[in-house]
Amino acid sequence: MRNDIQEVLYNAEQIQAKVKELGETLTRDFEGRNPLVICVLKGAFIFMSDLVKEIDVPLEIDFMAVSSYGQSTKSSGVVKIIKDLDVSVEGRDVLIVEDIIDSGLTLSYLIDVLERRNAKSVTIVTLFDKPARRTVDLEADYKGFTLPDAFVVGYGLDYAEKYRNLPYIGVLKPEVYEK
Ligand code: 5GP
Ligand code: MG
Ligand code: MG
């Protein structure tokens, strides 16, 4: 798999340090609350499991799967709920855990859905951000790393369902998805 990676942007150690730092900040900011932490599947599953271990407040978790990309490397703009939450968000402090924000379309759709369902508050934490590619006005409340405009894989992020198990984040060689 390493042969398909052009450049490693952040290694496993750097990611772990950042996740710990985010967890400490969230622990401070969510003290006294009981957030519902929502993992946006599948890309955020590794970040979610590492992050909740670093958040030291009582919390609950749930999962949601949305799709906007299919097999492509660009957002189609159409977001579909593939798997919905098991629990109600009404009156809850919701923390959305995302892997990466690119166009922002997926998250702005999700925020809208959760607000319409009367969440008390909606907070966003993303590990990676590609602000250069935003098409909607959206900023995460907490973010790990700002990335250049390149398609990345690893630490949960895939290309055609592969590379999620890489412990680092790296740029995929364009020839892998151009062929
Ligand atoms: P957005 O709706 O913000 O354009 O993109 C949302 C989702 O697309 C992200 O949560 C992520 O799952 C996927 N995505 C965006 N950029 C990348 C990328 O560089 N690599 C991978 N593997 N997925 C991405
Ligand atoms: Mg995602
Ligand atoms: Mg994907």
Instruction: Give pLDDT tens digits for 45-89.
Output: 999 999 999 999 999 999 999 987 555 566 666 788 999 999 999
DSSP letters spanning 16-60: HHHHHHHHHHHHHHTTT---EEEEEETTTHHHHHHHHTT--S--E
Give the pLDDT confidence score for residue 77 in this predicted structure: 65
Which residue out of 69, 76, 135 has the highest number of ligand 1 atoms within 8 Å of its CB and is therefore the one to mutate? 69
Compute the CA torsion angle 49, 50, 56, 59 (nearest 10 deg). Answer: -20
Given this model, what pLDDT does residue 70 score? 54
Tokens of 162: 């592969």
Report the relative pairing of strands 142-146 and 121-129 from DSSP bridges: parallel
pLDDT of residue 74: 61
| Ligand 1 shell residues, CB under 6 Å | 43, 68-69, 75, 98-106, 151-153, 157-159
Ranges of the chain with pLDDT below 50: none
Distance 138 CA to ligand 1 centre (A): 14
pLDDT for residue 47: 98
Q: Work out how many domains the chain is built from and give that number.
A: 1
Rounded Cα distance, 108 and 144, in Å: 19
CATH number of 33's domain: 3.40.50.2020
pTM confidence score: 0.94
Q: Pick from 42, 80, 102 the residue to mutate for probing ligand 1's pocket: most ligand atoms within 8 Å of its CB.
A: 102
pLDDT reported for residue 161: 95
Domain that holds residue 81: 2-178
- Asked whether the bond before 20 is cis by omega within 30 degrees of 0, the reply is no
Q: What is the pLDDT of residue 145?
A: 98
Predicted confidence at residue 75, as pLDDT, reads 60
